[in-house]
């Protein structure tokens, strides 16, 4: 029996004692739940459009800004490491806030913090204060973590056959801002110069505005909170089961093995993607490519990360989470091979490599997210999602930090090939999980 039916059949007997009447009305009405599910997706889409634009700034020019301020390639991966490390701490905080107070409080707080961090990056570039830059990048990472965690909001009221699609709707909406952001690098650089600040801080002006708007959209419009309603429905289901043990409900189960596999899929795909992506702008700079070329390739990459999401979500729901997780590993391997053997002067081959890199990440994130939602319940879901996203962010921080060191002591080709091979590690674990289910 579906969870909407369970909640409806539970009626007044399973209503939440002491809860407001509006919340009980959602628990008892599948129609209101469906309407709130659709409304939530619309609000998440709006916030993600702005969140994507905020995310793009650090990816595109973060490494170049650090190289410019410090004068060495060996620390070019440090900005990505810092804002992904900051996103790890933010993921934990956003997850805990969401678990306790709902998605609205957690997500709005994260985006607003990301906007404050972007403002700090601008000030550090103006004052040439490297310590302020590092601290601001940590705070800026909160926007990245929140941008990812927003994908969970759409799944709170989705059934098992809608979850990957709900994730994909949230992610594809990120495309509009995320693709526009890198292609506005040059424009924002000129704007920054016109107001007397360094050109490379220009994209962070866009990021500050975008993250703050995303936070305000969620703060004012994500009402009623979908996670609060989903948690109330789960409590109603438990009460219904206590009074009628024959009822089966999907929202009160937890599967730790699937949680571990979901985490592994997302951690490895994030590690490989961040490592190769971080050093691509630096690699291109060494071969004479300008900011506009870097922005274009990163734009294609981010487009591949998010734009195929609707199709990916349908595939994950239709042909299975495990199949698409394996497809992620294979696609990332192909990306690593292309990046390793592509001549540095070839825009075409580098673009193909970065598109495959984004696509492999997309497959891994959506399949891993769906696995994680399937394996948890509202009593622990937001907290567990935050914990897994901490591991994802830490893997990204490691990839960003190590990428600069690997390239400085070997080459971009070695980094790319190693990343592609590493992505294959997830395949035997996914196969093992499917065989021991």
What is the rounded average pLDDT of the residues 34-60? 86
Q: Which residue has the higher pLDDT, 42 or 22?
A: 42
Task: State how far the Cα of 60 lies from the Cα of 214, in Å rounded to an integer.
Answer: 20
pLDDT band at 13 (very low <50, low <70, confident <90, very high): very low
What is the rounded average pLDDT of the residues 213-233? 93
Question: What is the structure's pLDDT at 82?
Answer: 80
Question: What is the structure's pLDDT at 337?
Answer: 94
Question: Tokens for 415?
Answer: 């980094």
Determine how many CB atoms are found less than 10 A away from the CB of residue 346: 12
Task: State how far the Cα of 422 lies from the Cα of 276, in Å rounded to an integer.
Answer: 12
CB burial class (10 A; 0-12, 13-18, 19+) of residue 205? buried
CB burial class (10 A; 0-12, 13-18, 19+) of residue 80? buried
Task: State how far the Cα of 396 lies from the Cα of 85, in Å rounded to an integer.
Answer: 8
What is the rounded average pLDDT of the residues 201-210? 89
Whether pLDDT at 56 is above 50: yes
pLDDT band at 12 (very low <50, low <70, confident <90, very high): very low
Looking at every residue in the chain, the average pLDDT score rounds to: 84
Q: Count CA atoms closer than 13 A to 415's CA, side-chain side.
A: 28
Question: What is the structure's pLDDT at 264?
Answer: 94
Q: What is the pLDDT of residues 149-199, one digit of tens each?
A: 888 888 898 887 888 888 888 888 877 777 677 677 778 888 988 998 888
Task: State how far the Cα of 177 lies from the Cα of 213, in Å rounded to an integer.
Answer: 12
- Min mean pLDDT across 32-36, 235-239, 416-420 is at 235-239
- Min mean pLDDT across 88-102, 185-199, 205-219, 409-423 is at 185-199
Say if CB 259 and CB 376 are below 8 A apart.
Answer: yes
- Min mean pLDDT across 32-46, 214-228, 398-412 is at 398-412
Torsion sign (Cα): 233, 251, 314, 299: positive
Q: What is the pLDDT of residues 354-371, one digit of tens each?
A: 999 999 999 999 999 999
* Cα 274–chain centre separation: 12
pLDDT band at 10 (very low <50, low <70, confident <90, very high): very low
Q: Which residue has the higher pLDDT, 349 or 255?
A: 349
Whether pLDDT at 247 is above 60: no
What is the rounded average pLDDT of the residues 239-243? 73
Q: Which residue has the higher pLDDT, 303 or 104?
A: 104
Torsion sign (Cα): 210, 43, 20, 23: negative
Q: Which residue has the higher pLDDT, 228 or 64?
A: 228
Question: What is the structure's pLDDT at 332?
Answer: 96
What is the rounded average pLDDT of the residues 264-270? 94
Question: What is the structure's pLDDT at 245?
Answer: 59
Question: What is the structure's pLDDT at 106?
Answer: 95
Say if CB 182 and CB 59 are below 8 A apart.
Answer: yes
Cβ neighbours of residue 256 closer than 8 Å, sequence gap 6 or more: 375
Q: Count CA atoms closer than 13 A to 122's CA, side-chain side.
A: 23
Enumerate helices (H) and strands (E) in the chain, giving the number of each: 18, 0
Task: State how far the Cα of 170 lies from the Cα of 153, in Å rounded to an integer.
Answer: 9
Question: What is the structure's pLDDT at 250?
Answer: 53
Q: Which residue has the higher pLDDT, 182 or 119?
A: 119
* Closest CA relative to residue 368, chosen from 287, 267, 275: 267
Q: Which residue has the higher pLDDT, 252 or 224?
A: 224
- Min mean pLDDT across 133-147, 170-184, 407-421 is at 170-184
Whether pLDDT at 66 is above 90: no
Question: Tokens for 378?
Answer: 């509202």
Distances (CA, A) of 358 to 49, 199, 270, 292, 409: 18, 27, 10, 19, 26
| Class for the domain spanning 19-435 | mainly alpha
* Closest CA relative to residue 299, chosen from 65, 60, 125, 87: 60
Whether pLDDT at 9 is above 70: no
Say if CB 255 and CB 25 are below 8 A apart.
Answer: no
Longest dimension (CA), the chain: 71
Question: Tokens for 122?
Answer: 């601008």
Residues 239/243/245/247 CA torsion (nearest 10 deg) = -60
Say if CB 274 and CB 327 are below 8 A apart.
Answer: no
pTM (2 decimals)? 0.76
Say if CB 153 and CB 103 are below 8 A apart.
Answer: yes
Cβ neighbours of residue 245 closer than 8 Å, sequence gap 6 or more: none
Q: Count CA atoms closer than 13 A to 289's CA, side-chain side.
A: 25
Q: What is the pLDDT of residues 308-327, one digit of tens each?
A: 998 999 999 999 999 999 99
């Amino acid at each position: 029996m579906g969870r909407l039916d369970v909640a409806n059949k539970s009626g007044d007997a399973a209503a939440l004692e002491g809860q407001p009447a509006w919340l009980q009305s959602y628990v008892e009405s599948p129609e209101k739940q469906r309407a709130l599910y659709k409304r939530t997706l619309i609000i998440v889409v709006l916030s993600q459009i702005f969140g994507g634009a905020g995310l793009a700034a650090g990816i595109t020019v973060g490494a170049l800004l650090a190289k410019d301020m410090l004068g060495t390639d060996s620390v070019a991966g440090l900005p990505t490491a810092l804002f992904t490390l900051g996103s790890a701490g933010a993921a934990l905080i956003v997850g805990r806030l969401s678990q306790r107070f709902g998605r609205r409080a957690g997500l709005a707080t994260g985006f607003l913090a990301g906007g404050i961090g972007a403002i700090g990056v601008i000030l550090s570039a103006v004052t040439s204060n490297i310590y302020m830059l590092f601290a601001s990048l940590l705070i800026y990472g909160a926007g990245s973590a929140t941008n990812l965690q927003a994908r969970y909001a759409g799944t709170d009221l989705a059934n098992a056959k809608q979850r990957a699609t709900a994730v994909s709707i949230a992610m594809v909406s990120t495309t509009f801002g995320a693709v526009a952001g890198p292609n506005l690098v040059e424009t924002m650089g000129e704007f920054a110069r016109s107001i007397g600040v360094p050109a490379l801080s220009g994209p962070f002006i866009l990021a500050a505005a975008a993250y703050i708007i995303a936070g305000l959209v969620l703060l004012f419009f994500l009402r009623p909170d979908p996670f609060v309603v989903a948690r109330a429905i789960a409590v109603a289901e438990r009460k219904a089961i206590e009074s009628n043990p024959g009822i089966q409900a999907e929202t009160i189960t937890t599967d730790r093995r699937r949680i571990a596999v979901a985490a592994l899929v997302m951690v490895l795909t994030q590690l490989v993607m961040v490592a190769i992506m971080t050093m691509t702008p630096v690699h291109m700079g060494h071969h004479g490519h300008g900011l506009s070329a870097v922005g274009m390739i990163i734009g294609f990459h981010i487009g591949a990360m998010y734009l195929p999401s609707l199709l990916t979500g349908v595939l994950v729901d239709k042909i299975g989470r495990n199949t698409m997780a394996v497809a992620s590993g294979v696609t990332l391997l192909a990306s690593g091979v292309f990046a390793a053997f592509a001549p540095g002067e070839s825009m075409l081959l580098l673009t193909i490599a970065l598109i495959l890199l984004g696509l492999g990440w997309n497959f891994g994130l959506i399949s891993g997210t769906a696995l994680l939602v399937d394996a948890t319940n509202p009593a622990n879901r937001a907290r567990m999602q935050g914990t897994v996203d901490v591991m994802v962010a830490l893997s990204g921080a490691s990839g960003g930090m190590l990428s600069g060191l690997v390239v400085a002591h070997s080459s971009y080709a070695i980094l790319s090939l190693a990343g592609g091979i590493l992505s294959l590690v997830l395949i035997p674990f996914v196969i093992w999980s499917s065989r021991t289910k």
